[in-house]
Amino acid sequence: MSGNGNAAATALARIQTDSVVAMLKALYPGLQFEIIAMSTTGDKILDTALSKIGEKSLFTKELEHALEKNEVDLVVHSLKDLPTVLPPGFTIGAICKRENPYDAVVFHPKFVGKTLETLPEKSVVGTSSLRRAAQLQRKFPHLEFKSIRGNLNTRLRKLDELQEFSAIILAAAGLQRMGWQNRMGQGALGVEVRAKDQDILDLVGVLHDPETLLCCLAERAFLRHLEGGCSVPVAVHTAMKDGQLYLTGGVWSLDGSDSMQETMQATIHVPAQHEDGPEDNPQLVGITARNIPREAQLAAENLGISLANLLLSKGAKNILDVARQLNDAH
């Protein structure tokens, strides 16, 4: 088993990998699991914004190479790091129960007690996400937003020790997994495996959390249909209530001045426990789930595609095209 991480990025990656191993050990007490830490391109390039690097598999390519060579049998990722289209031969064999999917603001010690609204004019807020920057620029035009890279430890150190940032935006789930709630995937972990390795697919398939899986199917279908990625500000959020899956998606210009957001819903049966699903391992947006009914999976995927088409019909493509051009030009 591999977890993404070098010496600088190991802590959170190791915690995430350990959590998956603990679940597998509870299910298969007779099996032994060896954890191998590996570094990826995304771990090594820390002086460039993610949106500028231009590599779609920043946090996955080296790990997939190890999978392909049978050096490891499964890889634990933050699901947000996995492209919506995986290379041939790979699949997401498990999506674990999602933790907190929200973003968190962490303030410089001298601004503790402040909010983004009450930060001084021209205060600099750090984020590695174009989506976060565009959304926040629209709501807090008095602030400036600047790229900040590195693992959680590095970003918090930059915030606390340098005078460059008044606050930074981080994923709440990462802070919680590190035990740093007092500083407050988004939220979901995905386990990538070889697509034709049936033994490993069966091994990890029991980790699928049905509700999280269906939510992520809808989200990834939305993102893939919009061709959303690190180079454009696209956001999507799901909520399941009373058999209805609510999907909200939006696109923004780089400065947040132009935006579009819509919500759609669909009736989807979430199995209380694993049920028989498709037998031929068909992938949907890179995910294989043989123990989730096919009808529910297709309904979730169709919801994502329908919402993307709705936004495209209202002019989302123009907003995204302009955002890509401006991002490439800077």
Residues identified as active-site: 81
CB 135 within 8 A of CB 252: yes
Sheet-wide strand order for 259-267: 234-241, 244-252, 259-267
Longest CA–CA span in the chain (Å) reads 59
Q: Which runs of E-coded beta strand occur in the chain?
A: 2-4, 36-38, 74-78, 90-95, 103-107, 124-127, 144-147, 167-171, 189-194, 234-241, 244-252, 259-267
Q: Which residues pair with 129 in a beta bridge?
A: none
Residue 245: phi and psi, rounded to 5, are: -100, 115
The residue type at 310: L
Is residue 188 exposed (0-12), middle (13-18) or buried (19+ Cβ within 10 Å)? buried
Residue 174 CA to residue 189 CA, distance in Å, equals: 11
CB 322 within 8 A of CB 118: no
